[in-house]
Structure 1
Amino acid sequence: MSVVPSSVSSQESVSLRFPTGFVWGAATASFQIEGATTVDGRTDSIWDEFCRRPGAVANGDTGEPGADHYRRYQADVDLMTSLGLGAYRFSVAWPRVRPDGGAVNPAGLDFYDRLVDALLAAGISPWATLYHWDLPQALEEAGGWTSRDTAYRFADYVDSVVERLGDRVAGWLTLNEPWCSAFAGYASGRHAPGVASPTAAVSAVHHLLLAHGLGMERIRAHAPGTPAGITLNLFPVAAVSPADEDAARRVDGLQNRIFLDPVLRGAYPDDVLMDLAPYGLAGLVRDGDMATIGTPVDMLGVNYYRPLLVAAPLVSPDEPSEWVGVEGVRFLPSGLPRTELGWEVSPAGLTDLLLRLRDEYPRLPLYITENGAAYPDAVGPDGQVRDTDRLAYLDGHLRAAHAALRQGVDLRGYFCWSLLDNLEWAEGYAKRFGLVHVDFETQARTVKESARWYAGVIARNGLPAA
């Protein structure tokens, strides 16, 4: 099965070529696509419980969320093959592998065995994310990420997964976007588990980072030589005016440096420790923690969606804030086009971010592990999905990535978010990020125009002239 790009000729000349061996892929997350939430021994995650709360998710109670990938994985692998993907980044569901955070569930591991084998049979490299937000609900009831013990339970879970799959997975990522887990999950409560406590959020930050370090040690034990790292959602941050620079510094500290510095430098930034002193960050650190968190990584996954233009707070917010210590901070528009989620589209911000990582942190291979956009896609009368906005978005961001490559950034790969339309967390099913349209009533898949275009980029390992 093959897909011929609709918007470019397969013979078209390439003006921007990517390095030989550049990894071209797409990404998903277990809770967003798998469905089958009550079969084969899987138990509740924090997102199952959260989705049942009235008003927590745009579409209400999701029942069995996702795109039924658990049952349809082979057909989805065939779709990946049709697009020419060289790699697929998926996440493993902790509640399948160790239900309730307890003993290993062989049926849960069997699913990922089948998925990895299907990918390899199709010539697609499996990239596994070990935690994409679906903490077992039983562990949340024991304290969740506010409890240090959860980091050690994560290490046990990593043992189980990597011991089983480590001989076949091409790349390991410990955590996806710990900022969201900590601050959206425990500060504002906008995400699962829906807790609103700045102190809890700061505790979650440290324990998530400790889990990352412990996970790295277990990956090294079971899969020596396989590249491993962490994925962070990173943002270029700028102040509106000199009066807003301290607010921008705090936002950059909470969004970017609170994770980058411990992982890549082995220490929290001094200014962040001072900013978060009222919430006890320094007191959470025990002997040996920072060495564990700073266990050398082989790569850094970068999730990029938009920049942040920061203005100082006017008043404290009426609702819980994700911005601990700088509550009420304002993010102002720059006048750029926006996606359906209201996120400004700034390809130049991706170049800036990659250059910052090159200049300010130890050099290591970088992978764009998520980049994409939500638009109001629909299947037309002719059966096609003409998502020209997404196509333009991807084109602009790939050109921005290439600009960073030309300036010496060691960028090794790009994973589009997402392969499939899915449950977009608290936004429900209405916000579509996929290269492939999913009808959530029938589970029919329709390849979008952007996917055909991306298949052409992959086939040529480059972009045509602008």
Structure 2
Amino acid sequence: MSTFPENFLWGAATAPHQVEGGNVGSDMWRSEWAKNSRFAEPSGDACDHYHRYPEDIATLAGLGLNAYRFGVEWARIEPEEGYFSRAALDHYRRMVGTCLEHGVTPVVTYNHFSTPWWFAEAGGWTNPTAADRFARYAGRVTEHIGDLVPWVCTFNEPNVISLMVHLGIIPAASREDALGLAASRQPEDTGTAGAGAAWAAPAVEVMANAHRKAVEAIKSGPGNPAVGWTLALIDLQPADGGEQRWQAVRQAALLDWLHVSRDDDFIGVQTYTRERIGPDGVLPVPGGAPTTQTGWEVYPEALGHTVRLAAQHTGVPVLVTENGMATDDDDARITYTTAALEGLAGAIADGVDVRGYLHWTLLDNFEWTSGYQMTFGLVAVDRTTFARTVKPSARWLGKIARAGGPA
């Protein structure tokens, strides 16, 4: 399909805590092992991607995909405040180099929810020094890898708590069914469920300040990467009588955050489904509608809608940094993604500047409080041996990437 630009990024995404394993210095690790933890199971060794990334990147490239979004883990890089691990920084530089060796464009996320335990213990994003701490970290990472990285995402979905607060539900795009519980705990509540996790602040001003300071640090170089952040963009739709409530939620949980990106190089769009808003709040999934393992409505049309919304309200290029579905039916994954790409192609045909599509996720991984029950991956991972099995959906997406779009 000639709709997709010649240099379009076709790839997959992961998050460090969800795939690397052994992230013992992070707030998430502490929450997973806390008394009465809401996590179904601890992350443990995850997919051992920290050691097996050469195999995984080679697999991605061999499929025909040309981009890989992954995160660097703050808790590994700065395990104690002010101490930066050269070994950890070198590790991530090797990851970037491995991508480049395989002709894969690295898209690097600096913070994908998890933070160092010392940061969470100090109050996380509510601490007045949080933005400066994050900017210092972002600058140090950029000093080490910035010359090789063309795309940087400062934050992953900093608006998820805002979505929860304003919708009154756990946002679908966050894939985190106890996010609010974790966010509501104070750092000192170490004996309670979900304690200690420094989830993003619900106030857009707090996260926007940290984002802008990090952007300034990243832009100091070396290199000149395109910098933005990614947002959880649920396709919010008004039902009869719900227009006023829909407008208010949409403004606070989506548009206010999108406006921050007007000064960025791109906006990362992360979309999975829709939510319909009635006069009393979010409505249940329509009767008879298919749902995913997470209980969300199968609604691939959402992506085309949110990409248009993001472009309209930011005026900057769009990069789809996550889209996919949790299912053990790989044919259903292909059907969903086909429809999502049709919506994306329609947006591009109408003039929206979309630079890439990065599927969530490369590997069946640790899906936060759900543990390993939810399978979003293009590649299955044996929980005992870590053996990888490429799914038909991965080969299908690789074929599309090689062809430059759906036939």
Q: Same fold (TM over 0.5)?
A: yes
Aligned to 1:251: 249
In structure 1, distance between residues paired with 2:268 and 2:58: 26
In structure 1, distance between residues paired with 2:243 and 2:41: 39
Task: Return the match for 1:159 from 127, 139, 146.
Answer: 139
Tell me by how many angstroms 1:160 deviates. Answer: 0.8
On the 8 A contact 1:372/1:390 being kept in 2, the answer is yes
In structure 1, distance between residues paired with 2:361 and 2:276: 26
In structure 2, distance between residues paired with 1:56 and 1:393: 33
Tell me by how many angstroms 1:253 deviates. Answer: 2.5
The one-letter code matched in structure 1 to 2:57 is V
On the 8 A contact 1:158/1:219 being kept in 2, the answer is yes
The one-letter code matched in structure 2 to 1:191 is L
- The worse-fitting range, judged by mean Cα deviation, of 101-110 and 299-308 is 101-110
In structure 2, distance between residues paired with 1:46 and 1:182: 20
Tell me by how many angstroms 1:409 deviates. Answer: 0.7
Aligned to 2:15: 29
On the 8 A contact 2:238/2:277 being kept in 1, the answer is yes
The one-letter code matched in structure 1 to 2:355 is R
> Relative to 1, partners in 2 of residues 1:396 and 1:339: Cα closer, same or farther, differing over 3 Å?
same
Pairs within 5 Å for 1:187-336: 190-191=178-179, 194-196=182-184, 205-223=204-222, 225-242=224-241, 244-264=242-262, 296-313=263-280, 329-335=281-287, 336=289
The one-letter code matched in structure 1 to 2:254 is N
Pairs within 5 Å for 1:8-157: 15=1, 17-38=3-24, 44-54=25-35, 56-62=37-43, 64-157=44-137
In structure 2, distance between residues paired with 1:250 and 1:80: 41
In structure 1, distance between residues paired with 2:251 and 2:27: 27
SS of the residue corresponding to residue 357 of structure 1 reads helix
- Report the aligned-residue RMSD: 2.3
> Does residue 174 in structure 1 map to residue 154 in structure 2?
yes
In structure 1, distance between residues paired with 2:200 and 2:55: 39
On the 8 A contact 1:307/1:344 being kept in 2, the answer is yes
Aligned to 2:352: 409
Which string of whole-angstrom CA distances, capped at 9 and with x for unpartnered residues, describes residues 266-285 of structure 1?
xxxxxxxxxxxxxxxxxxxx
Tell me by how many angstroms 1:249 deviates. Answer: 2.0
> Relative to 1, partners in 2 of residues 1:16 and 1:341: Cα closer, same or farther, differing over 3 Å?
farther
Tell me by how many angstroms 1:418 deviates. Answer: 0.4
SS of the residue corresponding to residue 353 of structure 1 reads helix
Tell me by how many angstroms 1:209 deviates. Answer: 1.6
The one-letter code matched in structure 2 to 1:34 is E
On the 8 A contact 1:369/1:415 being kept in 2, the answer is yes
In structure 2, distance between residues paired with 1:70 and 1:181: 28
In structure 1, distance between residues paired with 2:58 and 2:283: 42
> Relative to 1, partners in 2 of residues 1:183 and 1:402: Cα closer, same or farther, differing over 3 Å?
closer
- The worse-fitting range, judged by mean Cα deviation, of 200-209 and 252-261 is 200-209
In structure 2, distance between residues paired with 1:373 and 1:203: 26
SS of the residue corresponding to residue 76 of structure 1 reads helix
SS of the residue corresponding to residue 148 of structure 2 reads coil
Tell me by how many angstroms 1:365 deviates. Answer: 1.0
In structure 2, distance between residues paired with 1:201 and 1:396: 31
> Relative to 1, partners in 2 of residues 1:449 and 1:358: Cα closer, same or farther, differing over 3 Å?
same
Tell me by how many angstroms 1:54 deviates. Answer: 4.7
- Which protein has the larger Cα radius of gyration, Structure 1 or Structure 2? 1
In structure 2, distance between residues paired with 1:217 and 1:99: 23
Q: For structure 1, which runs of at least 5 residues remain unmatched after alignment?
A: 1-14, 39-43, 265-295, 314-328, 378-386
- The worse-fitting range, judged by mean Cα deviation, of 187-196 and 69-78 is 187-196
In structure 2, distance between residues paired with 1:191 and 1:356: 25
Which string of whole-angstrom CA distances, capped at 9 and with x for unpartnered residues, describes residues 153-184 of structure 1?
00000011001000101201110100236666
On the 8 A contact 1:150/1:207 being kept in 2, the answer is no
On the 8 A contact 1:95/1:136 being kept in 2, the answer is yes
- Identity fraction in percent: 35
On the 8 A contact 1:26/1:88 being kept in 2, the answer is yes
Aligned to 1:343: 296
The one-letter code matched in structure 1 to 2:398 is A
The one-letter code matched in structure 2 to 1:431 is M
> Relative to 1, partners in 2 of residues 1:172 and 1:223: Cα closer, same or farther, differing over 3 Å?
farther
On the 8 A contact 2:311/2:317 being kept in 1, the answer is no
Aligned to 1:449: 392
In structure 2, distance between residues paired with 1:365 and 1:337: 32
In structure 2, distance between residues paired with 1:311 and 1:405: 31
In structure 2, distance between residues paired with 1:118 and 1:228: 21
Tell me by how many angstroms 1:224 deviates. Answer: 5.2
> Relative to 1, partners in 2 of residues 1:252 and 1:45: Cα closer, same or farther, differing over 3 Å?
same
> Relative to 1, partners in 2 of residues 1:146 and 1:239: Cα closer, same or farther, differing over 3 Å?
same
On the 8 A contact 2:285/2:296 being kept in 1, the answer is no
SS of the residue corresponding to residue 389 of structure 2 reads strand
In structure 2, distance between residues paired with 1:197 and 1:184: 15
> Relative to 1, partners in 2 of residues 1:61 and 1:354: Cα closer, same or farther, differing over 3 Å?
closer
On the 8 A contact 2:112/2:155 being kept in 1, the answer is yes
Aligned to 1:355: 308
Tell me by how many angstroms 1:239 deviates. Answer: 2.0
In structure 1, distance between residues paired with 2:327 and 2:343: 21
The one-letter code matched in structure 1 to 2:297 is E
Pairs within 5 Å for 1:418-433: 418-433=361-376
Aligned length: 385
On the 8 A contact 2:125/2:201 being kept in 1, the answer is no
In structure 1, distance between residues paired with 2:200 and 2:367: 22
In structure 2, distance between residues paired with 1:100 and 1:204: 27
User: Which TM-score applies when normalising by structure 2?
Assistant: 0.88
Which string of whole-angstrom CA distances, capped at 9 and with x for unpartnered residues, describes residues 415-445 of structure 1?
0000101000111101011000011111010
On the 8 A contact 2:259/2:314 being kept in 1, the answer is no
